[in-house]
A and B are shown apart, each in its own frame.
Chain A
Amino acid sequence: MTRAAPFLAIARLAAIEAIRRPVFLLVALSSIAGILLLPLLLHYTLGDSARIIRDSALAFLFLGGMLLGTHAAAEGFSRDLRRGTAAAILSKPVSRTGFFLARAAGIAAALVLFSLAALAAALLAVRAGASDLRLDWTAELPGLLALLAAPALAGAWNHRTRRPFASAAFFLLLGLLLLALAAAAFFPTPFDGLTFPRNFAWGILAVGFLLTLCLAMAAALAAALATRLDPAPVLLLCAVVFLAGIAADSFLGPRLAGSALARTAYAVLPNVQAFWLVDALDAGAVIPAAYFLTATAYAAAWSAAVLAAGAASFHRLEIA
């Protein structure tokens, strides 16, 4: 068995444990329901419905993911310490750093799965609401069916096998949304007859990828803070840091030239604006590959720094 086996086992368990929490399913279902209902709620928006649906869907992805990632990282870690599972695992040949990083990787994996489901729903919703006057039911209906069928099938499976409902419902939702996307791809759009691949606004995936990087940064921060703090202060601090990151350009931008403190704060705060590139989609611009690489490197470096601090903190943590 490879050296990575313990790391992968802990990461997998952390992801599954996060997905099995009822709050994960609740937030995922709410976010995806919100995205899929957007075309039904937004009419007569003077030709802006596609844009509003796209922006709102990405906002649902960002807010839902932020809540899921920070909650799963903070609450999961705290639960492992409180319930004693961390002590049981660390009494095995597992280093503290390995345990901490594997848990964080598991939470990131759960976030990626949520983003995948939310982006599938966003693609369906944007196509369904592309026209102000008429819904594209070939996209809306499969999405809504997936949303309704996943909990129902998971309930039946839970009744039959007694296996956890929440994770079954989430994995079914993800699978059925991808199936719905595949099914809708066979139909041309009803208004302009566009066929695959032009019948979906694939540009959303690029912005969704960048937002997922930002969510992973938030989860890394939550994991690092959770080594010393309870879940409530962790969630609060994450919210403060990322709100400050969103506002950093307007607050700190004008002061960068004259203040070393402003420059330090600007460098340390997560640059959330760099990941919200919805405006580029409006302009019809293609985000260059170099930008993705730079953004990925920035997110990786920021997360690595935060996780290194978290690992150092966990290294000295007493596990009573």
Chain B
Amino acid sequence: MPPSLMSAIHAENLSKTFRDFWHRPRVDAVRSISFDVPAGQIFGLLGPNGSGKSTTIKMILGLLFPTAGSIDVLGASPRSTAVKRRIGYLPEESYLYPHLTPLETLTFYARLFRLPPETARARIDQLLDMTGLSHARHRPVGGFSKGMARRIGLAQALLNDPDLVILDEPTAGLDPQGTRQVKDLILALVARGKTILLTSHLLADVEDVCHQVAILFNGRLLAQGTLDSLLTLKDRTTLTFPTPPDPVTLQRLLESVRAALGADPELEHPRQALEPFFLQIVQEAARRQSDLSGAAPHPPLAPFLRQPNNGPDAAPPG
């Protein structure tokens, strides 16, 4: 089977019921959902609060155990430590030890992956540069803003150059620059053949990057498919052309459409998106100002994340 058609994650009739102290069912968090996350694609898991997204992710990571159904991650049980060597996980909250600095935090995680010291040092430097936190590498993370803590969380998720990256609300707490950077990073990772599973409340972000989405509500899977198959309005067509030099020409164009289709066309001037407009203004300002205390703007992608995909090169198990 070609890699693009293989499943990085395969869930079948997956259910999770949380129980109380007496083992009585308390809440059905996930109810018999089945889905496949194709390898090398970006898959979005969407849903309102309490819909079962985080529970599903924790089952994928082997932190919670399914009540029923089965789940395979990279072809093995989610509890396998060999599989976890190939996964990068950004939790919904950036779970960090507040007294550790970014450097200590990343060094700690590098040891969990048994990365050779030189590789660990190089990657940590690159990731700190990429997340714009090189200047704060010796500050305890307990004093960081939510956005800065998120960046450290992102750095630890990429330390092992994972094959499967699971991002739970990756843009939560980030400013628009950080959000754009995360989206660019996701696209760069997938261009290297990585698989991304992400959840987000920010539907515009999901729409920008995802190939496929699944929508959960109350533990049930309501819709699943590619964005094109789910979102394209097949009975509508948009035609964009330069604004005519005078109203008469425009009226003639509208008349011809009306005559051809027998319906009134809608007329509007397209707007550019707010995100690129905002980023352009902020980057202009940042170029003029050098003393920044927060995360540095437009930092580069870590070089090891630009290399051809060789899979995670942490020490092999055994």
Q: A93-B317, A319-B58 are in contact. Are A1 and B111 (CB under 8 A)?
A: yes
Q: Are B95 and A1 in contact (CB under 8 A)?
A: no
A85 close to B99 (CB less than 8 A): no
Contact B109 A13 (CB under 8 A): no
Interface string of A157-176 (1 = CB under 8 A from B): 00000111001000000000
Q: Please judge, given known A-B contacts A6-B114, A90-B63, A92-B84, whether A13 and B58 are in contact too, CB under 8 Å.
A: no
CB of A17 within 8 A of CB of B97, answer: yes
Q: Does A289 contact B (CB under 8 A)?
A: no
The residue that B61 contacts in the complex, of A84, A91, A95, with Cβ under 8 A, is A91
How many Å from the CB of A20 to the closest CB on chain B?
A: 5
Q: How far is the CA of A85 from the CA of B94 in the complex (A)?
A: 9
In the complex, are the beta carbons of A318 and B64 less than 8 A apart? yes
A274 to B284, CA, bound (A): 74
B49 proximal to A (CB < 8 A):
no
Contact status B58-A87, CB under 8 Å: yes
B97:A85 contact, CB within 8 angstroms: yes
Known contacts A1-B315, A6-B112, A93-B84; is A84 also within 8 Å of B140 by CB? no
Whether A83 touches B95, Cβ cut-off 8 Å, given contacts A1-B115, A90-B63, A93-B113, is yes
Q: Chain A nearest CB: distance from B166 CB in Å? A: 8
Q: Closest Cβ of chain B: how far from A184's Cβ, in Å?
A: 34
- Docked Cα-Cα span, A318 to B99, in Å, equals 27
What residue of chain B has the Cβ atom nearest to residue A17's Cβ? B97
Known: A8-B111, A162-B139. 13 other contacts (CB 8 A): A1-B111, A1-B117, A20-B99, A84-B95, A85-B95, A87-B58, A88-B156, A90-B62, A90-B63, A91-B89, A319-B58, A320-B18, A320-B64
Interface centre among A1, A8, A94, A167 (most CB of B within 10 A): A1
The verdict on A87 contacting B317 (CB below 8 Å), with A5-B111, A320-B58 known, is: no
Do B114 and A5 touch across chains, with their CB atoms under 8 A apart? yes
Could you tell me which residues of chain A, from 3 to 23, have a CB within 8 Å of some CB in chain B? 3, 5-6, 8-10, 13, 16-17, 20
Query: In the complex, what's the smallest C-beta–C-beta distance from B67 to chain A, in angstroms?
Result: 10
The answer to whether A89 has its CB under 8 Å from any CB of chain B is yes
Instruction: Tell me the bound Cα distance from A180 to B113 in angstroms.
Output: 42
Q: Does any Cβ of A come within 8 Å of B209's Cβ? A: no
B81 within 8 A of A: yes
Chain B contacts of A164 at CB under 8 A? Answer: 99, 140
Report if B116 contacts A (CB, 8 A): yes
Interface residues of B in 75-116 (CB under 8 A from A): 81-82, 84-85, 87, 89, 91, 93, 95-97, 99-100, 108-109, 111-116
Known: A1-B114, A5-B114. A88 touches B81 (CB 8 A): no
B64: contacting residue among A3, A9, A84, A319, CB under 8 A: A319
Contact between chains at B85 and A93 (CB < 8 Å): yes
Chain B: how many interface residues by the 8 Å CB criterion? Answer: 36
- Evaluate contact between A87 and B112: CB separation under 8 angstroms: no
| Residues A95 and B96 in contact, CB atoms below 8 Å apart | no
Within 8 A of B (CB), among A34-88: 83-85, 87-88
Interface of B is mostly: loop
CB distance from B149 to the nearest CB of A (A): 12
- Between-chain CB contacts (< 8 Å), 28 pairs: A1-B111, A1-B116, A1-B117, A3-B114, A5-B111, A6-B112, A8-B111, A9-B108, A17-B97, A17-B99, A20-B99, A84-B91, A87-B61, A88-B89, A88-B96, A90-B63, A92-B112, A93-B84, A93-B114, A93-B314, A95-B81, A162-B139, A319-B63, A319-B64, A320-B55, A320-B58, A320-B63, A320-B64
Contacting pair A87 B95 (CB below 8 A): yes
In the complex, are the beta carbons of B63 and A318 less than 8 A apart?
yes
The interface residues of chain A lying within 8 Å CB-to-CB of B139 are 162
Tell me which residues across on chain A come within 8 A of B108, comparing CB atoms.
Answer: 9, 13
Question: Closest residue of chain A to B142, judged by CB?
Answer: A164
Contact B111–A6 (Cβ < 8 Å):
yes
CB-CB under 8 A from A316, the residues of chain B are: 65
CB pair A88 B91 closer than 8 Å? yes
| B91 contact set on A, CB distance < 8 A | 84, 87-88, 91
Contact A13 B97 (CB under 8 A): yes
CB pair A318–B65 under 8 Å, yes or no, is: yes
Report whether A93 and B82 are in contact in the complex, using a CB–CB cutoff of 8 Å.
Answer: yes
User: Restricting to A140-171, which residues have a CB under 8 Å from any CB of B?
Assistant: 162-164, 167
Rounded to whole angstroms, the CA-CA distance of A2 and B111 in the bound complex is 9
Cβ contacts under 8 Å, A17 to chain B: 97, 99
- A6 and chain B: residue at smallest CB distance: B112
C-alpha spacing A2/B116, complex, angstroms: 9
Residues in B neighbouring A162, C-beta threshold 8 A: 139-140
A166 to chain B, nearest CB (A): 9
CB within 8 Å of B: which A269-318 residues:
316, 318
Residues of B with C-beta under 8 A to A20: 99
Please measure, in the bound complex, the distance between the C-alpha atom of A171 and the C-alpha atom of B114, giving whole angstroms. Answer: 28
What's the nearest-Cβ distance from chain B to residue A230, in Å? 12
